């Protein structure tokens, strides 16, 4: 995967994305991931890879300071259209190069983004950088975390990457590459036999990544 190809892929996906990924099984999964999440009023929340804005309905009426970024202008246009009268700040931005100062946000939502960016570790490092000490990142994504289906995943992974997503990322390995800057608080299976998971990771005080 690369950024240029992703722009093309998500230009194609944008008109039908909600029909595929914001109804049925995926809508039930989003409700499971986001319902009951408690954040103090006024919290600064960053959505990394907001896509068509499917996750915003769980946050928009909660007196939060919301910022939503996405690399695809086509996806972002749809998200903006859904929330014309809101105070949500929509910005076109690369998840691998988040153009906000260090320690800017109290909470970050990374929904179905680490599996689609060319460099998930770089994206996670950027999220960690703009997150305040003690803040958390809520990750909802697909991961390959055990041996079941290993060979099937290995065979299908290169093919599915062409469609703009990766099914072979191991979340434990990815977090371990953060060298202690993030700590997993929750790791819950959400759907498809645990392939899709909800992770809540906390930024460890005093640790982090400076922009190079």
- How many whole angstroms separate alpha carbon 27 and alpha carbon 177? 31
Q: Kindly list the domain boundaries of the chain, sorted by start residue.
A: 3-203
- Residue 2 tokens, joined: 């690369």
> How large a percentage of the chain has pLDDT more than 70?
80
The answer on pLDDT for 212 being more than 50 is no
What is the sign of the dihedral through the CA atoms of 144, 147, 191 and 23?
A: positive
| pLDDT tens per residue across span 100-159 | 999 999 999 999 999 999 999 999 999 999 999 999 999 999 998 554 455 455 665 555
pLDDT of res. 56: 96
The residues with which 188 forms a beta bridge, in sequence order, are: 198
The structure's pTM equals 0.86
- Residue 177 tokens, joined: 């590459």
Q: Contacts from 54-61 at CB under 8 Å and sequence distance 24+?
A: 54/18, 54/21, 54/22, 54/30, 54/111, 55/30, 55/109, 55/111, 56/82, 56/83, 56/88, 58/30, 58/31, 58/34, 59/34, 59/109, 60/86, 60/88
Tell which wins on pLDDT, 211 or 22.
Answer: 22
What is the topology classification, in CATH, of domain 3-203?
Answer: Rossmann fold (3.40.50)
Report the mean per-residue pLDDT for the chain. 86
pLDDT of res. 147: 47
Return the closest-CA partner of residue 9 out of 72, 51, 52, 53: 72
The answer on pLDDT for 40 being more than 80 is yes
pLDDT of res. 88: 97
Confidence band for 166, pLDDT divided at 50, 70 and 90? low
> How large a percentage of the chain has pLDDT more than 90?
65
The answer on pLDDT for 12 being more than 80 is no
- Residue 89 tokens, joined: 């700040």
Q: What angle do CA 86, 137, 110 make, to 5 degrees?
A: 60
Confidence band for 164, pLDDT divided at 50, 70 and 90? low
Confidence band for 2, pLDDT divided at 50, 70 and 90? low
């Amino acid at each position: 995967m690369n950024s240029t190809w992703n722009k093309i892929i998500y230009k194609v996906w944008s008109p039908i994305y909600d029909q595929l990924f914001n109804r049925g099984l995926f809508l039930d999964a989003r409700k499971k991931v986001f319902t009951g999440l408690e954040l103090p009023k006024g919290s600064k929340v960053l959505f990394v890879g907001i896509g068509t804005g499917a996750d915003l309905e769980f946050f928009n009426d909660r007196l939060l300071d919301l910022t939503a970024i996405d690399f695809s202008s086509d996806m972002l246009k749809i998200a903006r259209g859904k929330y014309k009268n809101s105070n949500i700040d929509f910005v076109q931005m690369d998840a691998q190069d988040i153009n906000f100062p260090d320690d800017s946000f109290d909470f970050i939502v990374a929904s179905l983004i680490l599996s689609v960016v060319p460099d998930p570790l770089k994206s996670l490092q950027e999220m960690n950088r703009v997150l305040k000490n003690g803040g958390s990142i809520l990750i909802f994504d697909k991961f390959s975390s055990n041996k079941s289906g290993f060979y099937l995943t290995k065979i299908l992974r290169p093919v599915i990457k062409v469609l703009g997503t990766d099914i072979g990322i191991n979340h434990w390995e990815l977090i371990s590459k953060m060298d202690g800057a993030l700590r997993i608080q929750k790791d819950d299976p959400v759907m498809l036999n645990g392939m899709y998971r909800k992770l809540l990771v906390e930024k460890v005080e005093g640790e982090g990544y400076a922009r190079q």
